[in-house]
Amino acid sequence: FRHDGYKLDDQIEEKIEQLVFSGEIDSIRPTANRVGRATRIDDALGRYVEFAKASFPRGMSLEEMRVAVDVANGAAYKSTPCVLRELGADVAVAHNQPNGMNINDGCGSMHPEEIQRIVQMNGADVGIAHDGDADRVLLCDEDGEIVDGDEILAIASLDLLETGRLEQNTAVATVMSNFGLDETLAAHGGKVVRTKVGDRYVIEEMVHQKLNLGGEQSGHVIFRDFTTTGDGIITALQVLRIMHKTGQPLSKLKRCLQKYPQAQRNLAVKEKRPLAELTVVMKLVNDAEKELSGKGRVLLRYSGTEPKIRLLIEGRELDMIDKQADRIADAIQSAIGVG
């Protein structure tokens, strides 16, 4: 992270990696006045709890709400239950016994079936599931259905649009967010700007365009009015606030987003040739886009970390996009597939 709380950009990270892996860092010997100092904050938990609570309206209480929480044996194992209880909620907590080895182990947002179980077992109004470092969150409604980052982003966007607080009437999402998000915001006078996958790119775009809301389907949601990066409890509190304000259960709030069906294919490849050189594949992509007639989209990209190519097609008719995905996947396999 930078000094101002935002993530380092790619260029700086690459420069640091180059220094480390080249061995050049071993020859760098800064003088004492250029070396940073570590400071222990004795009441870090208490200070963070007060910070999180400050994102929730004064005078609003969660006293009538039962909240189930899966803290993934991770960073928020104390803070999230504490924040919710101090705001008046009846809290049922699970996976809050970290031992340094059990983080994300069969729990948290990486295992959403667990928060579904906890919600139903406790008769909760809502469930909150963090990942290990608690920068993201998935929610679970009172019926035991998962509410993902796209749905959270839609709920928050409409609330901010309604009150005139969504900067430039625009939210930021990645290319992987459901196309229904664009339609939902457009129907209410808003729009979606998309970035490549990664919360750092969402935040960069938010800063660049001076926007205050963005996020990913995975549950990284950034409320820039409160913080400079994803924060799971801040995100959850904003949804709880909207539930309280509207008097609506989460199962009803999430209906604001009508998701498009998706067909996804992930294929191993022997090489990452420029997509423009895959003429047969790109012709099929163009054909699919024409068939969708603006009521869907085709996304084809190489993985940044694996020898794979990822295909995503969204459209109103699942049968149609499945057939399109199969045709494109077959062409990819013939051109650059493994085996």
Q: Is the pLDDT of residue 339 over 80?
A: no
Please say whether the beta carbons of 217 and 176 come within 8 A: yes
Residues 6+ apart with CB under 8 A from 250: 125, 126, 139, 141, 142, 147, 239, 243
Please state which CATH number belongs to domain 262-336. Answer: 3.30.310.50
The pTM for the full model equals 0.86
pLDDT digits (tens, 9 = 90+) for 15-58: 888 877 887 777 777 787 888 888 888 899 999 999 999 999 99
pLDDT at 190: 98
Read off the pLDDT of each residue in 214-232 and give the average, rounded to a whole number.
95
pLDDT at 111: 96
Residue 227 CB burial class (10 angstroms; 0-12, 13-18, ≥19): middle
Q: Is the pLDDT of residue 10 over 90?
A: no
DSSP state of 60: -
pLDDT digits (tens, 9 = 90+) for 152-168: 999 999 999 999 999 99
pLDDT digits (tens, 9 = 90+) for 168-203: 999 999 998 999 999 999 999 999 999 998 889 999
pLDDT digits (tens, 9 = 90+) for 233-257: 999 999 999 999 999 999 999 999 9
d(CA 156, CA 27): 49
Positive or negative, the Cα torsion across 50, 96, 136, 149?
A: negative
Q: Which H/E stretch holds residue 154?
A: helix 149-162
Q: Which H/E stretch holds residue 232?
A: helix 232-246
- Nearest Cα to 114, choosing from 149, 79, 71, 67? 71
Beta strands 146-147 and 308-315: pairing type?
A: unpaired
What fold, for 149-238? Alpha-D-Glucose-1,6-Bisphosphate; Chain A, domain 3 (3.40.120)
Please say whether the beta carbons of 67 and 85 come within 8 A: no
Tokens coding 202: 């969402």
Q: Is the pLDDT of residue 8 over 90?
A: no
Tell me the residue length of the chain: 339
CA dist list (Å): 164 to 156, 169, 172, 254: 12, 8, 17, 20
Hey, do 48-147 and 149-238 end up sharing a CATH topology, with the first three levels equal? yes
pLDDT digits (tens, 9 = 90+) for 285-327: 999 999 998 889 999 999 878 899 999 999 999 999 999 999 9
Q: How do the domains of the chain map onto residue ranges?
A: 48-147, 149-238, 262-336
In angstroms and rounded to an integer, the radius of gyration of the C-alpha atoms of the chain is 22
Tokens coding 164: 């005139």
pLDDT at 35: 82
Tokens coding 146: 């998962």
Q: Is the pLDDT of residue 135 over 80?
A: yes
- Nearest Cα to 240, choosing from 23, 65, 51? 65
Nearest 5°: CA angle at 154, between 133 and 6?
40
d(CA 124, CA 152): 18
Lowest mean pLDDT among 25-39, 128-142, 263-277: 25-39
pLDDT at 26: 72
d(CA 126, CA 300): 36
d(CA 123, CA 205): 40
Read off the pLDDT of each residue in 87-115 and give the average, rounded to a whole number.
96
| CB count in 10 Å sphere of residue 263 | 21
Q: What percent of the chain has pLDDT over 70?
A: 100
Q: Is the pLDDT of residue 62 over 90?
A: yes
Please state which CATH number belongs to domain 48-147. Answer: 3.40.120.10
Positive or negative, the Cα torsion across 137, 143, 145, 151?
A: negative
d(CA 66, CA 62): 8
d(CA 202, CA 205): 5
Phi-psi region of 141 (alpha: psi -120 to 50; beta: other; left: phi over 0): beta
